[in-house]
Amino acid sequence: MEAAKHFIKRCGVYILTFLKWIAVACVVGTVIGFVGTVFAVLIGFFTGLRADNPWILFTLPVIGVAIALLYRAMGVKEDEGTNLVLMSIRTHKKVPLNMAFLIFTTTVLTHLGGGSAGREGAALQLGGSLAAFLGKIFKFEEKDVHVTTMCGMSAAFAAVFGMPLTAAVFSIEVISIGIMHYSAIVPCVFASIIGFNISRGLGLAPENFAISGVPELGIKKLALVVVLALLCALLSIIMCQVVKKTGWLSRKLIKVPELRAAVGGVLIIALTFIVGSRDYNGGGMHIVMAALEGNAFAGAFVLKIIFTAITLGFGFKGGEIVPAFFIGSTFGCVVGPLLGLDPSFAAGIGLVAMFCGVTNCPLTSILLSIELFGSQGVLYFAAAVAVSYMMSGHFGLYSNQKLIYSKLKAEYIDREVGT
């Protein structure tokens, strides 16, 4: 009798918890899915506006000053960005609601002016900030607020990029390397699906591409993919270090944020004219598409690293993932044929391996390859992801990402990325 009562009680706990998180996913997915869709639409609109009005690039220093003043006015002295969201899930740190407004506005302004930045950092911060606020409204305890924050990250990422499986797993996997918070899988998956469907319903097209030249599975081609993945792992380390060191150096040399942002804007303008191309302003998804079709300029990945490092290092806002897509796809497109791989296929391998190297999220990376390119060649992509994950070492874009277990053996190390 007692055993039956205990079983019924346990069933009740599971059912109530499931219903609670489904309800949370519906609210968070709807609210943040809508906000994320508006954000993505505005990014696209202002990117097009800049393309149609080339003179807007010259406003970049003024935009940089405006961004710095906006953060000062909102009382934010040190912007921790996505790192703050990651920290809030592991610690007692709080994600302020004003982060949502700040990252939304300043990322749109960065894209308008022509700064080299992506959207995912803004999506994660936007979703995490709004979801944490909703968690407080629900009067959740701290651990449930952490899960709600991951739920919001999933919804925003899915709405902005149109990759719901990638979004759901990324939000769980990115927090701590070596472990995953599976308790968040129900709200993250359902919030991601809802956010994705809202963005599709409002007319936002998902990110997916066709690649060609995918070879039949064979030892020789697999070995070539491994070599390319090794090179991408090295490139991911270079990108992470250049972005971080540029930010550190800019803050050391120019103490005033407004002046630092203005100088950064001037540098981007000067580089744009020195290079003689505007391909490196904004996210550059059109260059990613060209690379995946088999066309890329040999030095494109180097220039994108430089443009992105200056943009983010001098105070402009946005994410690093879309630039990583740019860098990985163009690198793969250029280097792949030298190894004997089709340029389109190699561009896809480069994009996914680069993403894994800078985020340390192998499961997410495999799902990314499927949602972007379909399942054709998935074993090649899985191999590239595995190699890039291990060989990118203790580096990553997010310095507050925790490396819980070693990449080399089953050993608990509990250290931050880059240390």
Over residues 273-317, the pLDDT tens digits come to 999 999 999 989 999 999 999 999 999 999 999 999 999 999 999
Q: How far, in Å, are 147, 236, 246, 382, 403 from residue 229 at the CA level? A: 33, 10, 25, 10, 21
CB 311, CB 115: distance < 8 Å: yes
pLDDT over threshold 80, residue 197: yes
Q: Where in the chain is the domain with CATH 1.10.3080.10?
A: 2-201, 219-416
Over its C-alpha atoms, the chain yields an Rg (Å, rounded) of 21
Which position has the token pair 């393309």?
A: 51
Which residues does residue 412 pair with via DSSP β-bridges, in sequence order?
405
pLDDT at 387 (0 to 100): 97
Banded pLDDT at 419 (limits 50, 70, 90): low
What CATH number labels 2-201? 1.10.3080.10
pTM of the model: 0.93
pLDDT at 5 (0 to 100): 73
Ordered alpha helix ranges (H), 53-119:
60-73, 82-90, 98-113
Q: How far apart are the first and last CA of the chain?
A: 55
Assigned CATH topology for domain 219-416:
Clc chloride channel (1.10.3080)
Over residues 362-382, the pLDDT tens digits come to 999 999 999 999 988 999 999
Number of Cβ within 10 Å of residue 11's Cβ equals 10
Long-range pairs for 294-298 at CB < 8 Å and ≥24 separation? 294/212, 294/213, 294/333, 294/342, 294/343, 294/344, 294/347, 295/333, 295/343, 296/329, 296/330, 296/333, 296/334, 296/343, 296/347, 297/330, 297/334, 298/334
Over residues 43-91, the pLDDT tens digits come to 989 999 999 999 999 999 999 999 999 988 887 776 667 776 777 676 6
Over residues 101-159, the pLDDT tens digits come to 888 899 999 999 999 998 877 778 888 888 888 888 888 888 888 888 889 889 999 99
Question: Could you write out the three-class secondary structure of 255-268?
Answer: CCHHHHHHHHHHHH
DSSP character at residue 410: S
Q: What is the mean pLDDT of the chain?
A: 90
CB 258, CB 68: distance < 8 Å: yes
Of 38, 117, 30, the closest CA to residue 82 belongs to 117
Over residues 221-266, the pLDDT tens digits come to 999 999 999 999 999 999 999 999 999 999 999 999 999 999 999 9
DSSP character at residue 203: T
Question: Is the C-alpha dihedral spanning 302, 304, 309, 310 positive or negative?
Answer: positive
Over residues 151-186, the pLDDT tens digits come to 988 999 999 888 999 999 999 998 888 888 888 999
pLDDT, greater one: 313 or 204: 313
